Amino acid sequence: MHDMRIRKIREELEKKYIDALLVSNFYSILYLTGFKTLTTDEREAFVIVAKEKVYLFSDARYIDEQLTLNTQYSTFEYKLIEPNKSLISHLYDIVEEEKINSLGFEAEDLKYSEYQKLSRTFKKLNPVSTDRLTIKIRELKDKQETDCIARACEIGDRCLTEIVKIIRPGVSEKEIGFKIEMWIREKGCDLAFDPIVAIDANASVVHYNTKDGDGVVKDGSIVLIDFGVKYKNYLSDMTRMVFVGQPNDEVKKTYEILAEAQQKTVEKITELETLKEADEFCRKLITDNRLPSYPHSTGHGVGLEIHEYPKVSLNSPDKRKVNQVFTIEPGVYFPDKHGMRVEDTVVIKEDGKARILTKFPKSLLAI
């Protein structure tokens, strides 16, 4: 699995006439090696993919995990970063051993100060900016990845089945969010992101922060729940609506239009070449019914990160490809009144069809 991913990196490097790649992104390191540090935003590890070997750099805190990885994957060579042996010191040796003249780096991740240090230290080494090289390879999932995402979606379905049972007048957004987190953690999993639970007017705020909210369920409330599960590092994403009591005809009609547009877009994807067309198609279904267009993209890739490639948006350059995993999530928002969104995580299968992985029903749910 990891050998295949490394091979794809080397193929791309060869096309670009680059001798090696310095990988600094937390998720790309995890993708290529299976190695994970405690934090995502601190430089606790680096990887260099060279022609002969893959070098994995970290400090003594992770040495046991590194030794395990080295036993599993003989292509990885572990380099311990110590006070007297920094990453730069190791690089001197590797550049000479591998005869590296050009070193690629992740333009979207490497800090400018880090780039400057590389340039100053290695006068004859040509640092080459690579644009999304690794994260574009991550766009197409292998079977192990799609199996993990599907499992995360299944756990999310089960979670929401239990959570809707506690929604009643008097229950707060924070309480619902807390119950979601507790249920997921009790099953041995983690949150994909902080759950969004938004009630009534709060649901009209596209990226509402439940932690700062004060919404409470009332008779007649509209409740938006957007959450995901992390299973073996891979994520799911789903949004569903819950109506407390029977909604009025206007609200009911709006929801039916939204849910139908979302489902039709999922079905239409097999006929489309680009994901920009999917965004345009979905948006038009909404506006043709005299509802406002939504101020966000129709979808986003899901994998190790909750937002990755491909993009399903009006300016997306991405084509529909087999083994992509992304969301379809149109919404309708009425400021200071209420908002609705319906979201599924889908995978593109060999026949080009989008198979829905989040299976919790989308029929109008009134409790």
pLDDT band at 172 (very low <50, low <70, confident <90, very high): very high
Is the pLDDT at 70 greater than 70, yes or no? no
Which is it for strands 54-58 and 76-80: parallel, antiparallel or unpaired?
parallel
192-224, pLDDT tens digit by residue?
Answer: 999 999 999 999 999 899 999 999 999 999 999
The pLDDT, as a whole number, for residue 202 is 97
Is the pLDDT at 93 greater than 70, yes or no? yes
The pLDDT, as a whole number, for residue 293 is 97
Which single residue is written with the structure tokens 């979905």?
A: 282
254 Cβ contact partners less than 8 Å away, ≥ 6 residues apart:
291, 332, 340
Least confident piece of the model among 111-115, 229-233, 294-298: 111-115
Q: Which residue spans of the chain are classified as CATH 3.40.350.10?
A: 2-137
Give percent of the chain above pLDDT 70. Answer: 96
The pLDDT, as a whole number, for residue 71 is 47
CATH 3.40.350.10 corresponds to the domain 2-137: yes
The pLDDT, as a whole number, for residue 288 is 97
Please, are residues 328 and 299 in contact by the beta-carbon 8 Å criterion? Answer: yes
298-309, pLDDT tens digit by residue?
Answer: 999 999 999 999
The pLDDT, as a whole number, for residue 114 is 87
What average pLDDT score do residues 303-327 get? 97
Helices and strands (DSSP H and E) totals, the chain:
10, 19
* Separation CA 138–CA 310 (nearest Å): 10
The pLDDT, as a whole number, for residue 68 is 59
Q: What is the mean pLDDT of the chain?
A: 93
What average pLDDT score do residues 221-234 get? 98
Q: Which residue spans of the chain are classified as CATH 3.90.230.10?
A: 143-356
* Separation CA 183–CA 177 (nearest Å): 10
Strand order in the sheet with 344-348: 308-312, 299-301, 325-328, 344-348, 354-356
Task: Look at residue 190 and give its three-state secondary structure.
Answer: strand
Is the pLDDT at 123 greater than 90, yes or no? no
243-289, pLDDT tens digit by residue?
Answer: 999 999 999 999 999 999 999 999 999 999 999 999 999 999 999 99
Please, are residues 164 and 176 in contact by the beta-carbon 8 Å criterion? Answer: no
In the CATH hierarchy, which top-level class contains the domain 143-356? alpha beta
Structure tokens at 355: 């198979």
Which single residue is written with the structure tokens 């949004």?
A: 239
Picking from 160, 227, 200, 152, the residue whose alpha carbon sits closest to that of residue 361 is 160
What average pLDDT score do residues 300-322 get? 97
pLDDT band at 117 (very low <50, low <70, confident <90, very high): confident
Which single residue is written with the structure tokens 């989008």?
A: 354
Which burial class, exposed, middle or buried, applies to 261 when counting CB atoms under 10 A from its CB (0-12, 13-18, 19+)?
buried
